[in-house]
Chains A and B, each alone.
Chain A
Amino acid sequence: MLAVGCDGGHAGGILRLVQPLVQLDNVTLAFGANQVLDDVTLSLSDGGCVGVQGPNGSGKTTLLRVMATLQPVTAGLVTVLPLEENPRQEIGLVGHRAALNDLLTLRENLEFIAALRAIPSRDVERTLAATGLSPVASRRADRASQGMRRRTDLARASLMNPKLLLLDEPYNGLDDAAIGIVDRLITNTRDRGGAVVVVSHDPAVLARVTQRVISL
């Protein structure tokens, strides 16, 4: 059994009784004969940042999807953002592949989500500027570089201001400026009282940005 308690609270050793933003209790997930997650227990409170590492096929991405409430589990209890009326709307998931419509421009991809969330278009422009995408925002996603596509994904996550931010290999293929965008996104989320989970195969990255690391 893997059990990690991670209060993610502020430094200083103050004991606080908090409702965790994410609570996984003895979570098991199997796809047929394939055991993907085996008895995982973890707790994540506001302001926390947890890293998840493991070899290929160890279930890192699946664990993120479980926490995003996108993947039902075979056994165990999953509680995510229990105090929110609509938890899914407070979750931001940035996968290792950008979730963009190739025939829309980078700006239109953001505007689409902003429209669905009733986010003003001025916020879209502000986010594009903050992520350095303004000069290329009118470019179609299928004509944008991999780095631009990743930045757009990150920009969208920033735009949505999630309480729970789930990042799957966020630093892959990014230049220094884009790495700074990811770092700011993590910091802003934590400062707002949210929580972050970062999946990475790079221990150095996890050591830099997270407080604790789970190994699958």
Chain B
Amino acid sequence: MSLWKQAWIIAKTDLRVEGRSGEILWIVLPYGALALFLIPIATALPLKTLSDIGIGMYWVVVLLFGMFVTLRQSSQSSPQERDLMRLTLSDPAALFLGKSVASATLLGSFQLVMGPIAVAFFNPALPAQWWLLIPVSALLALAMAMTGTLVGFLVAGTRSSNALAPLLAAGLAFPSLVGASIATTKLSDSQSIVTPIALLLLVVAITAAIGMASSTLLEDQ
């Protein structure tokens, strides 16, 4: 069976498991929304300033809480399940791809919910071509999903993996955050967003290449 077909089966199953777990819907989303409320309370910033930084805060919440999406409990496998996958898959890269696609889908959904919340409560000045932020968000979701999946493989079975994974994932997602942030700034200035899009595509390509190439290597526990 081809790598892509197996990856698709893994992605579908991962999404089904998350649907039953409800971790994103009932825990991560409310947590992210809560963070959006806590920041204004803690900083006591004027409304105008909050409006100015609204989109930026949204990206930060997506970055930090998006980590919980990619590193969610429902995506974790027991050592026995990991052994089973190693014996079942014709190409271990299918696991990386499948989990990345599932995480990207969930992250995209997370952004779809958080975006309107951020707009509703912070009333940011949206760029005229605000709809161009949608492909930016999609690429960000894909980049973060791949980064998070790779980090998940790196920390599997290690001590302190619960704390170590977000530290690694958040840092490595920095270039993606830069791309999204620059795209927002350029759109606000009515400039072309080709450069930040290219940056995000580069992150996706490099992370995909490293993730797939290292799949076999990272199998060993």
Contacts and interface: CB of A to CB of B under 8 A. Distances in A.
B25 to A, nearest CB: 14
Nearest to B19: A103
Contacts of A112: 9, 13
Contact of B84 (A65, A104, A113): A113
Given A70-B86, A86-B90, A93-B87, A101 B81 contact: yes
Interface residues of A, number: 27
Nearest to B81: A99
Contact of A68 (B13, B77, B83, B89): B83
A192 interface: no
Nearest to A142: B20
Contacts of B20: 103, 140
A116 B17 contact: no
B13 A104 contact: yes
A212 interface: no
A72 interface: yes
Given A98-B80, A99-B80, A118-B1, A68 B87 contact: yes
Contact of B80 (A88, A95, A103, A113): A95
A104 B16 contact: yes
B88 interface: yes
A91 B80 contact: no
Q: Chain B contact residues (Cβ within 8 angstroms of A): what range?
A: 20 to 34
B97 to A, nearest CB: 13
Interface in A1-43: none
A58 interface: no
Contacts, number: 58
Nearest to B219: A70
B81 A113 contact: no
Residue from B1, B20, B77, B220 having most chain A Cβ neighbours under 10 A: B20
A95 B13 contact: no
Contact of A89 (B16, B74, B90): B90
B78 interface: yes
B22 to A, nearest CB: 10
B6 interface: yes
B215 to A, nearest CB: 14
A26 B145 CA distance: 43
A116 B6 contact: yes
A104 B78 CA distance: 14
Contacts of B6: 116
Contact of B9 (A91, A103, A116): A116
A88 to B, nearest CB: 5
B188 interface: no
12 contacts: A93-B83, A98-B80, A99-B78, A99-B81, A100-B81, A101-B17, A103-B17, A103-B20, A103-B21, A112-B13, A116-B6, A118-B1
